[in-house]
Amino acid sequence: MNIALNIDLAEWLNLAIRWFHLTAGIAWIGSSFYFVWLDNHLVTPKAGEASGEVWSVHGGGFYHKQKYQVAPKQMPEDLHWFMWEAYTTWITGFSLLVLVYWVGAASFLIDPAKAALTPLQASGIGAAALVAGWLVYDGLCRSPLGRDDRTLGVVWFAVLVAAAWGLCQIFSARGAYLHVGAIIGTAMVGNVFFVIIPNQRKVVAALVKGEVPDPALGKAAKARSLHNNYMTLPVLFIMISHHYAMTFGADRPWLVLALLGATGVAVRHVFNLRHRGQPLGRAILVAAILALASVTYVSAEKAGAAKATGGSADWASVEPIFQKHCVSCHAEKPTSDLVTAPPLGVMLDSHEHARQFAARVKKVAVDAEIMPLGNTTGMTKAEREALGRWIEAGAP
């Protein structure tokens, strides 16, 4: 029996890398959160040279963990390092960025209505943004601003908001979001690769030589680790943001990202305060206000847009739009060279079919504006609004 296999290698590669990225990310974030929790629960030991200790119970056993603020007097025989979780997360995440947004730039990154870029130009801008992001962040950390984590945090957040605004002027909002996430992720892994691990190696080398390690090395590594802790939740949101078109589909997607990113930082701060046993009232209030502001802004913007639109809302007014921009792919027998069957089984070649998939059309063509892919057919804002009116009227 002959079996013909129709394998989409790109899709399987996408799945494999994405799965690897998710697994590595869980390992990195889990260890990062755990060690911050550990630091926040340390108490002064009753005896010994350790600077802090904590007892815990898990999995049917008791654990006694001790911390040496600079280093123990002697090098331990068996020392565990935490770095490959971070490196693997960044390598797989960068691979996904290349595979989806740089190789597929024409479909997912370039917006001809914003900038007439070639895929190579778009990818070059994206790569430059990652490098520039790390150089700016690292420069801020090494400047006098780096002496105060709060001031540094505010300035770095402002830099990221500016980057989000700028990238949204050049790329599709969805692509801009992912590049901001990549900038933050690059800063986080840069902290591990260029500061935390090298400093720890210098401490170990000093111990081996019988020298007293420089306390500044551990202090700098601890600061960068704490920065990573606060940047984690915004990155996690960006990783799943493409599922939520109401965020990057807003008229000012950079502002939505800023509000939700600030919410993530505030939520992380609440947990850090809780672990240290400090009052939570003000921090919880700030996090709640930011979350409410995010939801309110997006909801008010969409309500205002719906109220402002006007005109026909019948099938006759939108059928030409479907025929011009959708039917070449989304038909029982597509005429486009890009597909051999309607993607995801979505057919828009008749009133009955279009009405059946109206909610999905609203999500990807009206709210997110990611269809047609790369807007190669040149769908205008007015045409998207007309589809929105028709769908809001019940797709009559």
Tokens, residue 176: 């801009």
Question: What single letter denotes the amino acid at residue 72?
Answer: P
User: What is the tens place of the pLDDT at every residue in 173-229?
Assistant: 999 999 999 999 999 999 999 999 999 999 999 988 888 899 999 999 999 999 999
Report the mean per-residue pLDDT for the chain.
89
Q: Is the CB of residue 213 less than 8 Å from the CB of residue 201?
A: no
How far are the Cα atoms of 198, 259, 277 from residue 291, in angstroms, in the given order?
Answer: 38, 7, 24
CA distance 184 to 102: 18
Total Cβ atoms within 10 A of residue 189:
22
Of 10-24, 67-81, 307-321, the poorest mean pLDDT is in 307-321
Q: pLDDT tens digits for 259-301?
A: 999 999 999 999 999 988 889 888 899 999 998 998 888 877 7
Does residue 63 have a pLDDT over 70?
yes
Task: Say if residue 1's pLDDT is above 50.
Answer: no
Structure tokens at 221: 């590594």
pLDDT band at 308 (very low <50, low <70, confident <90, very high): low
Residue 318 has pLDDT above 90, yes or no: no
> What band does 341 get if pLDDT is binned at 50, 70 and 90?
confident
* Spatial separation of the C-alpha atoms in residues 102 and 99, rounded to whole Å: 6
CA distances from 330 to 333, 363, 385, 395 (A): 8, 16, 20, 18
Q: Is the peptide bond before 215 cis (omega within 30 degrees of 0)?
A: no
Segment 221-256, tens digit of pLDDT = 999 999 999 999 999 999 999 888 888 888 899 999
